[in-house]
Amino acid sequence: MTEFDALGLLREIEDVGRDPRRGGYSRHVFDDAERELRDWFVERARRLGLKVTTDRNGNLWAWWGEPGPDAFVTGSHLDSVPGGGAHDGPLGVVSALAAVERLQASGFVPTRPFAVVVFAEEEGSRFGLACLGSRLLSGAITPARLESLTDASGRRFVDVAREASLPEPGYDAESLARIGLFVELHVEQGKGLIDLDAPVAVGSSILEHGRWRIDVRGQGNHAGTTEIADRRDPMLPAAEAVLATRRAAALRAGSRATIGRIEPVPGGTNVIASRVSAWMDVRADSEQDTRDIVADVQQAVSEAAAAEGCEASVIEESYSGEVRFDPQLRDRIAATLGNVPVLPTGAGHDAGVLAAHVPTAMLFVRNPSGISHAPEEGADDAAIQAGVDALVRTIEDLA
Ligand code: GLV
Ligand code: MN
Ligand code: MN
Ligand code: MN
């Protein structure tokens, strides 16, 4: 085992950003844990002789040789969801470093520019917008939207970015133009590879997905003195939203819809809330199903709000159409790896954002729990090694 073995690299960061309250890890963009991981990545990449730069959006680029156009780019992200697993993101980063080390040791020299990338705020856990680093890079975010992004404590993304020495986040045509193709290795976030009894797959597509915020306003009041008949409690329409979300998804095969975050304001045990916000994540096979799910929930919430004397609104925060990864690149990688399986996913990735601009592919690595975005997420050692092997062979073929 070498110093840059993927398992060893994962062990080096296994204590960074642990979240004892939630379990698992909470590593949110530009917090202490995520910055520690960034510093660790820079140090590790430099030890491999890579030149590390930070782009205007806080994405890290570690260049093997000179930066240049038509580059082979691989990597992932280091941030996590609240209470997430150890592999979602970091596995793609450590596998890229391990692959570079293996290739260097074998005497391989890329014939085109080559970079390992770490994208910022992939999960959207801090500022609410997933794949923020790659969306900014590729010009998918308007300046007005950028100005509006705040974290849970009300801090604006642009201010946090300025403190991180990123005074001008936004469209980065120069970095985008350098990417010739992008391959993201990622832990599988479902059971596809368990069912197929295979360690590695090539990605085919990402489901349509989006996020909506449901705001319900009522009248804050005293839990002990307010008669039931006198209440305008926004928690009731919010509860109806949760149930309607499940019902709407269950009606449409292949779709998933979730309310995983809900915030009553002010949030006291003996206080009837004055306002509740709930965030709904919807993924489906078609835009029609996605829109129909949102419409069903909107109707159920409006009716429940009217019955309770509340007001409700449903606001779209992000929406991404279905992604189909480049079929030629997908087939070429699958063939190079000996006809490994090809799998779709319901999870979003920076690769999905970049697929609109450059040929993009993904490699999925078996997760024996089938669980992700939770502490039980995992990847078995053999599959991790098979993932690095697959990335090495992909790089040998394409870089
Ligand atoms: C990110 O991992 C997402 O799929 O939401
Ligand atoms: Mn994730
Ligand atoms: Mn991820
Ligand atoms: Mn993701």
The closest-lying atom of ligand 1 relative to the alpha carbon of residue 346 is 4
Considering the domain architecture, whether residues 157 and 49 belong to the same structural domain is answered as: yes
pTM flag (> 0.95): yes
For residues 54-74, one letter each, b for 16 or more C-beta atoms within 10 angstroms of the residue's C-beta and e for the rest, the string is bbbbbbbbbbbeebeeebbbb
88 in a labelled binding site? yes
Q: For the segment 225-259, what is each residue's pLDDT rounded down to a tens digit?
A: 999 999 999 999 999 999 999 999 999 999 999 99
Considering the domain architecture, whether residues 303 and 341 belong to the same structural domain is answered as: no
Considering the domain architecture, whether residues 219 and 165 belong to the same structural domain is answered as: no
**How much is the pLDDT for 1?**
53
DSSP classification of residue 229 = G
Which residues of the chain are modeled with pLDDT < 70?
1
**How much is the pLDDT for 4?**
85
Q: Whose CA is nearest to atom 5 of ligand 1?
A: 348
Whether residue 74 is contained in a domain is answered as: yes
- Containing domain of residue 259, as a range? 208-320
- Residue where a domain stops, chosen among 320, 351, 386: 320
Whether residue 70 is contained in a domain is answered as: yes
Q: Whose CA is nearest to atom 3 of ligand 1?
A: 348
The closest-lying atom of ligand 1 relative to the alpha carbon of residue 131 is 1
- Check if the beta carbon of residue 276 is closer than 8 Å to that of residue 265: yes
Q: Whose CA is nearest to atom 1 of ligand 1?
A: 348
**How much is the pLDDT for 3?**
79
Ligand 1: residue of 323, 373, 377 to mutate (most ligand atoms within 8 A of CB) is 373
> Distance between CA 346 and CA 254 in Å, rounded?
10
Whether residue 293 is contained in a domain is answered as: yes
- Check if the beta carbon of residue 88 is closer than 8 Å to that of residue 131: no
- As for how many domains the chain has, the answer is 2
211 in a labelled binding site? yes
Kindly state if the Cβ of 348 falls inside 6 Å of ligand 1.
Answer: yes
**How much is the pLDDT for 357?**
98
Cis bond before residue 344 (omega within 30° of 0): no
Kindly state if the Cβ of 132 falls inside 6 Å of ligand 1.
Answer: no
Considering the domain architecture, whether residues 57 and 125 belong to the same structural domain is answered as: yes
Whether residue 1 is contained in a domain is answered as: no
102 in a labelled binding site? no
Kindly state if the Cβ of 131 falls inside 6 Å of ligand 1.
Answer: no
Stated as kind and residue range, the H or E segment containing 41 is helix 32-47
Instruction: Report the CATH number that the domain containing residue 224 is assigned in CATH.
Output: 3.30.70.360
Rounded to the nearest angstrom, the distance between the alpha carbon of 192 and the centre of ligand 4 is 16
Considering the domain architecture, whether residues 165 and 43 belong to the same structural domain is answered as: yes
Q: For residue 391, report the phi and psi dihedrals to the nearest 5 degrees.
A: -70, -40
Considering the domain architecture, whether residues 315 and 330 belong to the same structural domain is answered as: no
Query: Which ranges of 74-131 does DSSP label H, i.e. alpha helix?
Result: 90-105
For residues 234-243, one letter each, b for 16 or more C-beta atoms within 10 angstroms of the residue's C-beta and e for the rest, the string is bbbbbbbbbe
Rounded to the nearest angstrom, the distance between the alpha carbon of 236 and the centre of ligand 3 is 34
Rounded to the nearest angstrom, the distance between the alpha carbon of 245 and the centre of ligand 4 is 21
